Structure 1
Amino acid sequence: MRNVSLAELDHLPAEVLPIATDYPPGTLLTWHEHRRAQFLYAATGTMLVETGEGAWTVPGERAVLIPPGTRHQVRMLDVRTSSLYIEPDAVPWWPRSCRVVEVAPLLRELLLAAADLDADYASRDRDGALVALILCELATLTEVPLHIVLPHEAPFDELCRRYLAGPDIAVTNAAWARAASMSERAFTRRFRQLTGESPAAWRARARLLAAIPLLRHKSVTQVSELLGYSSPAAFSYAFSRAFSLPPSSLRH
């Protein structure tokens, strides 16, 4: 099923509804939620997913697991997706918060095949077996830590979401504290309580996440310069340490 709305199909008895969708660059799917669990795979491009808890950056050929009933929004950067909308009872192991995961070659091929299924696929043995194999493969996924915690308290949440939309190396703790009408010490203490890390460490991670869509079209050297790193080696080290994969692996 391609380029159709979940609302048209959600009533069907199938445990899994595979839907592939092509999005124009920059498409924003504003805040919404699904009754079913969602496996959202980026065949191309980069997806930026936000919930009330955090933000996840999903490069091409990776996916994000979105729990049922989770309010979220997604910005699509030149993305072609394959989604699976799954009845919660069929995936009792599904995580309670979003996770970015690697997608192995076998699962990628299964997703391509599932996109061509009709709405009544469950009535055919071969198609039902294909979807059953997909469910088996989903249970073996490996998480990639491409996320950042978002504070759930004003004005910290607004400051962080604004920074994610436009990371700026010139921003300081003092500037954030002034914007919050707090002392720098009090601001830093509360920020750490809300996110588990200092404002400076949080901003550094946010800048590294911002590198992911840039790496699709720019070299590691260019991205390191844009983000204010002293050298490509310093950028590559910081990126690999934060996300357990080298930035060169995200080049297309």
Structure 2
Amino acid sequence: MRNIPVAELDGLNRAVLAIGTDYPEDHLLIWHEHRRAQVLYAATGVMQVETDDGNWTIPTARAVLIPPMTRHQVTMTGVSTRSLYIEPAAVPWFPARCQAVDVSALLRALILTAVDMEPCYPEHSRDAAVAALILHELKTLTPLPLDLPLPSEPRLRSLCEEFLQKPGIHDPPARWCAALNISERTLARLFRSGTGLSFSQWRGRACILHSLQHLAAGLPVTRIAALLGYDNPAAYTAAFKKLLGRPPTAHKPQRTP
């Protein structure tokens, strides 16, 4: 099914529902939640998924697992999604917090197939077998470090959200300390307790994840490195590869012949 609200199908007695949705450019899907667990797959574009405790940047051909009843909003940049909505009892292993994941070629094919199935597929049919295989494949997903935890302390969270609007790799901790009227030692403690990361780790991850949107838009690596304040493109590329395991060029949009 395509471009219909999940609420219209939620009551169906099927463990897996699949819906494809096309969004306008730069669309904001405001705060909401689902009764079912959701596998939100980016068929095109880049998604920014935000919850009360962090955000996840999901590039094309990756997905995010969203637990049932998790309040979230999604910023779409050139996005077409394929979503699986799954009865919670069918995925007792589902994470308690959102999780970005890689998507195998098999699972991608299954998701695309499921979107074209009738939502109330007959039991013991081919479509039912596709749904069952999806549940098996979901257990093998590889987590990806595409999340950026956000602290709960209001003043620090506000500064983090401000930073995310225009991140810079050399933004000094002294600026944050002055804004919060605290010492660098206290800032380090707040970051570690609030995010599980050091200040420099959080700042670096924020810059790399922000750059995924620029890559999707087709900006050159040299331009992205300059926008984020890296000393040179090689420094940006090295940091990108260290976090995500592949160079930035692997995330640039693929042009079809």
Q: TM-score, normalised by structure 1?
A: 0.94
1:147-169 alpha-carbon deviations (Å, 9 max, x no partner): 11110111111111222232145
In structure 1, what is the Cα distance between the partners aligned to 2:201 and 2:105? Answer: 34
1:134 to partner: Cα distance: 1.3
Q: Is the 8 A contact 2:170 2:229 kept in 1?
A: no
Match of 2:252 in 1: 251
In structure 1, what is the Cα distance between the partners aligned to 2:226 and 2:64? Answer: 29
Partner amino acid for 1:212?
Answer: L
In structure 2, what is the Cα distance between the partners aligned to 1:148 and 1:80? Answer: 23
Match of 2:213 in 1: 213
Q: Given the superposition, is the C-alpha separation of residues 9 and 74 from structure 1 closer, same or farther in structure 2, using an over 3 Å criterion?
A: same
Q: Is the 8 A contact 1:225 1:231 kept in 2?
A: yes
Match of 2:237 in 1: 236
Partner amino acid for 1:193?
Answer: S
- Unaligned ranges ≥5, structure 1: none
In structure 2, what is the Cα distance between the partners aligned to 1:44 and 1:120? Answer: 27
Match of 2:48 in 1: 48
> What is the RMSD computed on CA atoms of the aligned residues?
1.6
Match of 1:63 in 2: 63
1:199 to partner: Cα distance: 2.5
Q: Is the 8 A contact 1:25 1:78 kept in 2?
A: yes
1:109 to partner: Cα distance: 1.6
Match of 1:103 in 2: 103
Match of 1:19 in 2: 19
Match of 2:162 in 1: 162
Secondary structure at the counterpart of residue 121 of structure 1: coil
Q: Which moved more, 1:37-46 or 1:96-105?
A: 96-105
1:83 to partner: Cα distance: 0.2
1:72-127 alpha-carbon deviations (Å, 9 max, x no partner): 11111110000000001101111111111111122212111111112221457111
1:210 to partner: Cα distance: 0.6
1:180-191 matches, within 5 Å, as: 180-191=180-191
Q: Is the 8 A contact 1:16 1:87 kept in 2?
A: yes
Match of 1:199 in 2: 199
Partner amino acid for 2:226?
Answer: E
Match of 1:10 in 2: 10
1:201 to partner: Cα distance: 3.0
Q: Is the 8 A contact 2:168 2:229 kept in 1?
A: no
1:85-164 matches, within 5 Å, as: 85-123=85-123, 125-164=125-164
Secondary structure at the counterpart of residue 167 of structure 1: coil
Give the % identical residues.
51
Q: Given the superposition, is the C-alpha separation of residues 227 and 151 from structure 1 closer, same or farther in structure 2, using an over 3 Å criterion?
A: same
Secondary structure at the counterpart of residue 155 of structure 1: helix
Q: TM-score, normalised by structure 2?
A: 0.92
1:183 to partner: Cα distance: 3.5
Secondary structure at the counterpart of residue 65 of structure 2: strand
Q: Which moved more, 1:76-85 or 1:100-109?
A: 100-109
Q: Which moved more, 1:26-35 or 1:166-175?
A: 166-175
- Unaligned ranges ≥5, structure 2: none
In structure 2, what is the Cα distance between the partners aligned to 1:23 and 1:241? Answer: 32
Partner amino acid for 2:45?
Answer: G
In structure 2, what is the Cα distance between the partners aligned to 1:7 and 1:144? Answer: 29
Where has structure 1 moved over 4 Å in runs of 4 or more? none
Secondary structure at the counterpart of residue 154 of structure 2: coil
